[in-house]
Structure 1
Amino acid sequence: MLNATQRIFASVLFLLLVSAMTGGALARLNGPSAVGIDGVRIFSRGIPISDGQFIAQTGNSFHLSELSGSWSLLFFGYTYCPDVCPMTLANLSRTWKRLPLDVQAQLNVVLVSVDPERDTPASMAPYMGYFNPSFMALTGNPTALKTLATEVNAFFARVERDGDLAYLMDHSANIVLIDPAGQYRGYIEPPLDPQRLTSVIQQLVSMPRY
């Protein structure tokens, strides 16, 4: 059961989402604006993204357009990440387990690898399975990766280290929101609190689709 603070957050978030998603007429004239609360930013209209082709952890080819029909949470990371990625995936998994089954059915959680050189389907499958077998991972196409990252304002860069130490990847930690139309619709800033994120997701999937 939600406590008073959580109910207030959910109510305010709902009003913000209504404001964002009914502001399309003005947005078409002036470009998308954003409303937000507590690190959640929702655009007044979706921003189209390219239909990049990747490789899923199953080894199968995957186009971003296949995410259409559901809300998707995209996180840019990599399997060799020492801290941010495991923490983020753990919090996303905790959030997932709090969601009703009907909400889970309307949601994709996707790790987009910023390290396709090392992140192969063979290495990503057990990594994702450890956190949540329902989650998806995409890798294998540096060109599509750069295009997607640019379109959703995500940053990543290779960081070399001295001696024989393996390189690291610096990257954004935001969760990117892709709406059921397959468009960039906002983002969630860290830190990720499973209770807060559960409220966000439930409000998102309950909104009318425009």
Structure 2
Amino acid sequence: MSDSPQSPDQSGPPVDRARQRRGIRRTVAILVSVVAVVVGLQVYKVTRAPALDREALREQGVIVFEQPRNISDFELVTHREEPFTPESLEEQWTLIFFGFTHCPDICPLTMVDLARLMEELPEELEPRTQVLLVTLDPARDDPEVLSDYVPHFHPDFTGVTGEFLTIRRFANEMNVAFSKVTQGDDEDYTVDHSGHIALVNPRGDYHALFKPPFDPAVMAGQYETIVDSFRF
């Protein structure tokens, strides 16, 4: 009897198909988790609020205080003849420029820059921002005069006036220096003053200042960085 070819020995331990499937599912789950983490990190890098770098902002002319400064009590009035007090600075961000309506150049140019800044802000930030012109010449800038001047730049801007000494204290706390300069007689004068813009946070504290010259598009990014880094 001739020898016939032998079939390969297919004997051995049986394959546990259920266990194999569980192993595959576990491997796939781990890979999906790893991919999700990687994608999440990339999204976070793109969408996270930019970190506040005070030194970088300082080099750009923006001073952000490590400890926001309290503002003393005051009573002023708006161009709408409504009371204006420290409580009026709460629950929103406030950009304050100190100037006067007879100012020939710096004041109107800065008000135009502030109006352009509002156009540059994201939709969610614009309604959370109020802009003030606080007059340094209350003798001439009463509510009626301010009501003819301030809305010309933006209908939502607010003019603020009041007693001279109250304005001086408020200006001093915002690092604003100013002085009256006569030009012939007491009725003909101008006011020399600081040109920066003060920023008050929603707690009503003096938070930062922007030095001139102003680029509204750049300033909008700087302002948004400060807002995103703020914890109420």
TM-score normalised by the chain length of structure 2: 0.74
Deviation for aligned residue 1:65? 2.1
Q: Distance in 2 between matches of 1:184 and 1:123?
A: 27
Q: Report what 2:71 is aligned to.
A: 49
Larger Rg: 2
Alignment match of 2:150 (pick from 113, 123, 128): 128
Please report the RMSD computed on the Cα atoms of aligned residues, expressed in angstroms.
Answer: 2.1
Q: Distance in 2 between matches of 1:35 and 1:190?
A: 13
The aligned runs of 1:65-84 (5 Å cut-off) are: 65-84=87-106
Q: Report what 1:195 is aligned to.
A: 217
Q: Distance in 2 between matches of 1:70 and 1:60?
A: 18
The answer (yes or no) to whether the contact 1:55–1:61 under 8 Å persists in 2 is yes
**Within the alignment, does 1:100 sit opposite 2:119 as a pair?**
no
The aligned runs of 1:163-202 (5 Å cut-off) are: 166-202=188-224
Aligned residue-pair number: 184
- Helix, strand or coil: the match of 2:179? strand
Structure 2 unmatched ranges of 5 or more: 1-47
Alignment match of 1:158 (pick from 180, 184, 190): 180
Alignment match of 2:53 (pick from 9, 12, 16): 16
Deviation for aligned residue 1:61? 1.5
- Specify the code of the residue in structure 1 equivalent to 2:86: L
The aligned runs of 1:101-120 (5 Å cut-off) are: 101-120=123-142
- Helix, strand or coil: the match of 2:124? helix
Q: Report what 1:6 is aligned to.
A: none
Deviation for aligned residue 1:102? 1.5
Q: Distance in 1 between matches of 2:71 and 2:176?
A: 13
Q: Distance in 1 between matches of 2:163 and 2:140?
A: 12
Structure 1 unmatched ranges of 5 or more: 1-10, 20-33
**Residue 55 to residue 147, structure 1, CA distance change in 2 (3 Å):** same
TM-score normalised by the chain length of structure 1: 0.81
Higher strand share: 1
**Percent identity over paired residues:** 33
Q: Report what 1:5 is aligned to.
A: none
- Specify the code of the residue in structure 2 equivalent to 1:191: P
- Specify the code of the residue in structure 1 equivalent to 2:85: H
- Helix, strand or coil: the match of 2:131? strand
- Helix, strand or coil: the match of 1:15? coil
The aligned runs of 1:22-37 (5 Å cut-off) are: 36-37=58-59
- Specify the code of the residue in structure 1 equivalent to 2:80: T
Q: Distance in 2 between matches of 1:46 and 1:138?
A: 22
Q: Report what 2:5 is aligned to.
A: none
